[in-house]
Each structure stands twice: as C-alpha cells, then as structure tokens.
Amino acid sequence: RWNGTESCTLNHSDTNTIETQSDDLLPPDNNSIVQSITPLKNTKHFLVSAFMDQRVQGFDIRLIGMFRRDSIQELHCFFCCADYTSETTPTKVLQHSDNFGFPFVTTDIMCRIPKKCNATHVTLLTKPKPEKRVDWLPIRNKKTNGGAEERMDFTVCISNLFGDYNNVLQFAQTLEMYRLLGVNRVVIYNTSCGPDLDRLLRSYSQEGFVEIVSWPIDKYMNPSPGWYFSDFGGDIHYFGQLTTLNECIYRSMERSCYVLLNDIDEIIMPYQHDNLKSLMDELQKQHPNVGVFLIENHIFPKHRFEPSGRFHLPKWSGVPGINILEHVYREDPDRKIYHPYKMIVQPRMVKQTSVHNVLQLFGQMYKVPLDICRTIHIRNAMKNISKLQELSVDKRLWDFQEKLIPNVDKVLHNSGLLK
Ligand SMILES: *[C@@H]1O[C@H](CO)[C@@H](O)[C@H](O)[C@H]1NC(C)=O
Ligand SMILES: *[C@@H]1O[C@H](CO)[C@@H](O)[C@H](O)[C@H]1NC(C)=O
Ligand SMILES: *[C@@H]1O[C@H](CO)[C@@H](O)[C@H](O)[C@H]1NC(C)=O
C-alpha cells in the first residue's frame, strides 16, 4: 500500500538521460491499433490510456478516459493475460470534479486484475461477460524486473497545441530555457499547429527532447477553445487539457521524479538557484512530505519592450513569434481575480490534477515563496496599466542569455528556420 514516503532521488550525473520507450507493446490482435483516443464500444465515452496503479487499496489499474456525464453506466474491466483473455472484474468510475459545465469530463476507471493473470492489455465492457472483438489498451507503468532503471529528474507537461499556433521563436527559446534549467523531457499533446512550428517540433522530437503525443480530439468531438461551457459551448473544456495533463502525469510516474505543469509561454524559474535540481533538492529537504509545489504566475506583457533593444537581434527577424528576452516588465498578479499558480509535482504523489491546483493527492502542498521561484509568463497584459512605474523590472532571463542565444540559433538552424 502506498504511504507517500517512498523517496525519489534526483539524478546527480551531468548528462540528461533520455529513456527509451519501454512500453511499446504490440497489441495482442493485429486488428486493434494503439492510439491516443479510443471510442469505447456501445457507449458515448472515450478511453485514453491504462496504467498500473496500486497506490489505492483494492485496485491495480487506472484507466483514464473522457466520459459523457449524462451517460455514466456500469462497466467491467476485461484483460488480456499474456496468452489468454480473463473473466471480467468490477470497476469504480470516478469523474473528476472539474468539468466547467461541459458534457464530457475526465474520468478515472479503477479495477483489479484477476488472480494469476499476467495482464498486458485491458479494456472496458458494458456487460460482465468476455467478448471477442475489443480495442485493447496496453497497460503502461508495469514495473519491469526490480525497477532499477534510471529515472529522469524533470519532465514538463505541455497540455495542448491546437489551431495554427506558430509562435516559433518563443517556443524554441522556452524549450532551450527548460533545457538549461535541467529539464530532461517535454511532453506535448498535438491537435494541430502552424507550419514552422511543425518543423521545429519534428526536429526536437527526432532528437528525443520533445515527446509528441498525437491528440486528434477534433476527430471525435467538438472541443471547446475556452474555459467555460457557458461562454464557449462545445463538448469538452479547452481541447481536453485536463485529460492530457492527467495522462501526462501518469505517463511520467515511473520515469520522472518531478513533473512541471505549465504552458509553453511559461517558464518556472528559480531565482536563487541555477537550476531546478538544486532548487528542488533544497525545497524537498525543507519540506519532505510535500508532493505539490505551487509556483506563483507572473505576467510579463508582450507589448512592453525593454528600451535598449539589446536583444532585438536582426538574425531572428525572419522567425515568427515573440522574443522573450525583450520583455522584462513584470506585473504584480491581481490576487483577487486571477488564480495564479503553476506546479512542480512528484507524479507519484498525485491522483488527479487540474491546471492550477491538484484535485487529489497523497502528501501535502506548499506555496513556494516569491523570492525563491516564480513562473515567468510572457503573454498579453492582464492589467490595464498606464504608467511603466507600476511594473517591476525583472531581467532574470538575461542571466541565461550567453548560453541561451547560441542554443536557440542552433535549433532554429537545424530545423531550417534561420535564414
Ligand atoms: C508476463 O508477460 C510478459 C509479456 O508477455 C512476459 O514478458 C513476462 O515474463 C510475464 N511474466 C510472468 C510472471 O509470467
Ligand atoms: C501535429 O498534428 C497535425 C495534425 O494532425 C499534423 O499535421 C502535424 O504534423 C503534427 N505535428 C507534429 C510535430 O507532430
Ligand atoms: C484601459 O484604460 C484606458 C484609459 O484609462 C481605457 O480607455 C480603457 O478602456 C481601459 N481598458 C480596459 C480593458 O479596461
């Protein structure tokens, strides 16, 4: 039984370890295809992934899905056990509390593996008797021999890319900042993106730093581009970002000590440490029972430019997007109207997450003081400010410019984006 005390040791060698995929099992039946969104037969629901999860007593498996709230029904787990199919087992269906009024909600389905079954794949059935043709989901996070494999330290989960988003310069700069801060892997869920960004991401995913998960949610439902059903309509909150963030936490659970949950226009930035590893070593030592570290979000308006133009580099003028080094003015968050946190979490301490907070966890949460760490969020202004004096000057990003600029040049060059 999970008691939240099993510690995760940060890797102190200098090299970033990129794990090879250990769970690309072949589906047992050639007719079934592993995909990120699987319609669940005879229901209105969709399954996304299945994970081994024995942290809650009485359960072995957690499936993550997108369920229609008006059609929740009894379901049964059905397993593929290495060389035979099992009888079914009962399930517990847990809708996440965050649905923002949309018909579909992120849902966890918990169940047990039958005795003696060496389960490799699972699916859900509407009746408690085995069936012939089913769409199997591979079971991820099965611990392989002794679990001695090396873990990554930090994974960033970027929820959803959609529309024709083509902010290449900010994307490349931000990914390279993550790398300088010690991030080993960035997981990105892709519905669609602009042409230059597509090239950049292909180059990053070939190299292994970025893991692209295809997220064709628009093929299955009408995803909302907004936060609330009442404002935007549609079937599910913001292209399903709550589902992808949860999926990313479970995907990372056995392979990364920490997961950072933030958007691509945000950088979780230590202000007193050179990198995330030394930051978390210290924070975790001071707060051994904390599994969720809340980092306050600070907006750097993209329409305010640093006046000297020192980093307005002509070589980047043909690259679409925001140059983060040019934005050094920082707003104070309006703590009355805005929910201003992003998170660093130990994935094994999280059961269910939302965007700005965790819904269910083992262990404690901690708000990290502002002088230690903030989220740098370069975007449209949040506040209507008339005088520059109402903004703080914050040049923390410049501390990294010497390495950042050549690294960004290199990746832009490699993806053919630097003329
Ligand atoms: C379970 O199945 C996997 C995949 O078929 C196999 O590699 C493994 O040895 C099996 N384990 C046991 C305990 O039978
Ligand atoms: C993202 O998804 C779109 C739509 O399927 C696809 O055209 C594009 O190539 C994908 N990009 C990457 C980097 O996977
Ligand atoms: C911002 O302030 C200006 C000047 O006071 C005003 O004209 C404008 O309507 C304000 N905009 C918003 C979005 O509040």
Cα of 380 to ligand 3 centre, how many Å? 14
Q: How many CB atoms lie within 10 A of CB 296?
A: 16
DSSP state of 73: -
Same domain, 45 and 176: no
With contact defined as beta carbons under 8 Å apart, do 344 and 267 qualify?
Answer: no
Q: How many CA atoms lie within 13 A of 122 on its CB side?
A: 31
Residue 146 located in a structural domain: no
Residue 351 lies in a domain: yes
- What residues flank ligand 2, with Cβ below 6 Å? 190, 192-193, 198, 201-202, 212
Q: If we measure between CA atoms, which residue out of 326, 169, 177 comes closest to residue 266?
A: 177
Return the H-helix or E-strand segment holding 360. Answer: strand 358-361
Question: Based on the domain organization, do 366 and 239 belong to the same domain?
Answer: yes
Distance 117 CA to ligand 1 centre (A): 10
Say whether both 242 and 357 belong to one domain.
yes
Cα atoms in the Cβ-side hemisphere of radius 13 Å centred on 177: 24
240 and 332 co-located in one domain? yes
Same domain? For 128 and 166 the reply is no
What is the predicted pLDDT for the residue at 177? 98
Output the residue whose Cα is nearest ligand 1's atom 7.
82
**Which phi and psi (to 5°) does residue 66 adopt?**
-120, 110
pLDDT value at residue 34: 54
Question: Among the three residues 140, 172, 207, which one is the final residue of a domain in this structure?
Answer: 140
Closest among 191, 180, 417 to 319, alpha carbons compared: 417
Write the residue with the smallest CA distance to atom 3 of ligand 1: 82
CATH assignment of the domain containing 171: 3.90.550
Beta strands in 43-103 (DSSP E): 46-52, 61-68, 76-81, 84-95
Centroid of ligand 2 to alpha carbon of 212 (angstroms): 9
CA–CA gap between residue 361 and residue 291 (Å, rounded): 8
- Which of 143, 357, 339, 160 has the alpha carbon at shortest distance from 247? 160
Say whether both 402 and 377 belong to one domain: yes
- 140, 172, 200 - which closes a domain: 140
For residues 286 and 229, what is the distance between their CA atoms, to the nearest angstrom? 41
Question: Do 350 and 291 fall within a single domain?
Answer: yes
- Sequence-distant contacts of 282-286: CB under 8 A, at least 24 apart: 283/366, 283/368, 283/372
Task: Check residue 388 and give its pLDDT.
Answer: 84
Structural domain range at position 40: 15-140
Q: What separation in Å is there between the alpha carbon of 15 and the centre of ligand 3?
A: 50
Give the number of whichever ligand sits closest to the CA of residue 381.
3
pLDDT tens track of the chain, all 419 residues? 444 445 566 766 543 333 333 333 334 443 344 589 999 999 999 999 999 999 999 999 999 999 999 999 999 999 999 889 999 999 999 999 999 999 999 999 999 999 999 999 999 999 999 998 889 999 999 987 555 567 999 999 998 999 999 999 999 999 999 999 999 999 999 999 999 999 999 999 999 999 999 999 999 999 999 999 999 999 999 999 999 999 999 999 999 999 999 999 999 999 999 999 999 999 999 999 999 999 999 999 999 999 999 999 999 999 999 999 999 999 988 888 777 899 999 999 999 999 999 999 999 999 999 999 999 999 999 888 878 888 999 999 999 999 999 999 999 999 999 97
Residue 214 burial (CB count, 10 A) = 10
> Does ligand 1 lie within 6 Å of residue 118's CB atom?
yes
- Please return the burial class of 143, using the count of CB atoms within 10 Å of its CB with bins 0-12, 13-18 and 19+: exposed
Q: Are residues 99 and 165 in the same domain?
A: no
Cα 384 from Cα 297, distance rounded (Å): 17
Same domain, 267 and 168: yes
pTM of the shown model: 0.91
Rounded alpha-carbon distances, angstroms, from residue 196 to 155, 246, 312, 321:
24, 28, 20, 10
Q: Is residue 2 part of a domain?
A: no
DSSP letter, residue 419: -
C-alpha–C-alpha distance, residues 135 and 148, integer Å: 32
Pocket test for ligand 1, best of 118, 122, 136 (most atoms within 8 A of CB): 118
Q: Which residue is closest in CA terms to ligand 1's atom 5? A: 82
Convert 187-217 into a string of H (helix), E (strand) and C (coil).
EEEECCCCHHHHHHHHHHHHHCCEEEEECCH
Whole-number Cα distances in Å, 337 to 242, 295, 370, 383: 21, 17, 19, 11
Number of domains in the chain: 2
Residues 158, 136 share a domain: no
Task: Find the ligand nearest to 384 CA.
Answer: 3
- Domain contains 145: no
The β-bridge partners of 109 are 63, 93
Closest CA to 5 of 279, 362, 365: 362
Ligand with minimal distance to 84 CA? 1
Angstrom CA distances, 319 to 1, 210, 245, 323, stand at 52, 20, 29, 9
Same domain, residue pair 324 and 386: yes
224 CB within 6 A, ligand 1: no
Distance 140 CA to ligand 1 centre (A): 14
Q: Are residues 259 and 396 in the same domain?
A: yes
Instruction: Indicate if ligand 1 lies below 6 Å from the C-beta of 120.
Output: yes
d(CA 271, CA 354): 26
